[in-house]
């Protein structure tokens, strides 16, 4: 994600705001402009519960360049209690402790830095409950 886009989306991401389609009720996180289920453009935006369950996970041992100093690291598909699914890094656990069905909560943390003097990108990471 570009730095400019990340900065524009920080307020919504930091507040964990989800958008619920007013027509079909599908929940999106982060919020979007058009519902992919029904094409409706009106949403109700409200804070989302920060807890969820791991549906699938993997360990990245050969990461892309911005994440090479973090390897190995765990990634998971998390189904949030509010409904949406998202893919994010799982932190604060030892290798082998991650399992399907494990409860997690989202936290806003540093994701990576663009070069030694570049801007720092922040985002959400999953932490075991």
Q: H-helix or E-strand containing 118?
A: none
Tokens standing for residue 85: 């699914």
Domain range holding 8?
A: 1-48
- Are residues 93 and 79 part of one domain? yes
Number of domains, the chain: 2
- Are residues 115 and 83 part of one domain? yes
Return per-residue pLDDT of the chain as tens, 129 residues: 566 766 666 666 677 889 999 999 999 988 889 999 999 999 999 888 999 999 999 999 999 988 888 899 999 999 999 999 999 999 999 878 999 999 999 998 988 888 788 888 888 899 999
- Are residues 120 and 67 part of one domain? yes
- Are residues 54 and 34 part of one domain? no
Q: What is the DSSP letter of 2?
A: -
Q: What is the DSSP letter of 41?
A: -
- Domain CATH for 88: 2.40.50.840
- Are residues 61 and 116 part of one domain? yes
pLDDT at residue number 120: 82
């Amino acid at each position: 994600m570009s730095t400019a886009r990340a900065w524009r989306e920080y307020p919504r991401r930091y507040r964990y705001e989800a958008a619920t389609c007013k027509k079909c009720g599908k929940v999106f996180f982060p919020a979007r402009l058009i519902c992919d289920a029904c094409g409706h453009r009106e949403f109700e935006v409200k804070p989302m519960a920060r807890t969820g369950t791991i549906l699938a996970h993997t360990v990245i041992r050969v990461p892309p360049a911005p994440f090479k100093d973090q390897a190995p690291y765990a990634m998971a598909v998390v189904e949030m209690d509010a409904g949406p699914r998202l893919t994010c890094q799982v932190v604060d656990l030892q290798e082998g402790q991650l399992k399907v069905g494990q409860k997690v909560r989202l936290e806003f943390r540093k994701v990576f830095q663009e070069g030694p003097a570049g801007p720092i990108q922040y985002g959400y990471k999953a932490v075991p409950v």
